[in-house]
Amino acid sequence: MMEYKGYVGRVEFDDEAGLFHGEVINTRDVITFQGTTAEDIMREFRVSVDVYLEFCAEQGKAPDHPNTGHLVLDIAPELQAAMIQAARREHKNLDAWIVERLAAGVCSVSAVSPR
């Protein structure tokens, strides 16, 4: 795996074609790249991300950003107040309390662990 500007690239080798091909895996948009050497694939990964960002800017479109670990929610003020009180009862800050609850819910469905 490679990382550049927050985008993560996954690379595979195609032995029939004799080249590496890769794709950015943490965005909904399609960003691909290829090369024949490790140096090529690393350079082309960066070039592809930069071209994608330039294209988005030219189109006036916001690029699909990779997951940052930040989540913005609109919730009822009453729910927020209740969550703050619940977190205080457990001697936790609100972020830690929410992350624990979300992780518990997701972990019951998949193999995700809290940070």
Distance, in Å, from the CA atom of 34 to the CA atom of 18, rounded to the nearest integer, reads 11
What confidence score (pLDDT) does residue 90 get? 93
Alpha helices for 60-93 (secondary structure H): 77-89
Helix residue spans in 20-76 (DSSP H)? 38-59
To the question of pTM greater than 0.75 for the whole model, the response is no
26 touches 9 (CB < 8 A): no
Query: What is the SS3 assignment for 3?
Result: strand
Q: Is the pLDDT of residue 111 over 80?
A: no
Report the distance separating Cα 113 and Cα 36, nearest Å. 37
| Cβ pair 51, 58 in contact under 8 A | no
Segment 98-112 mean pLDDT: 79
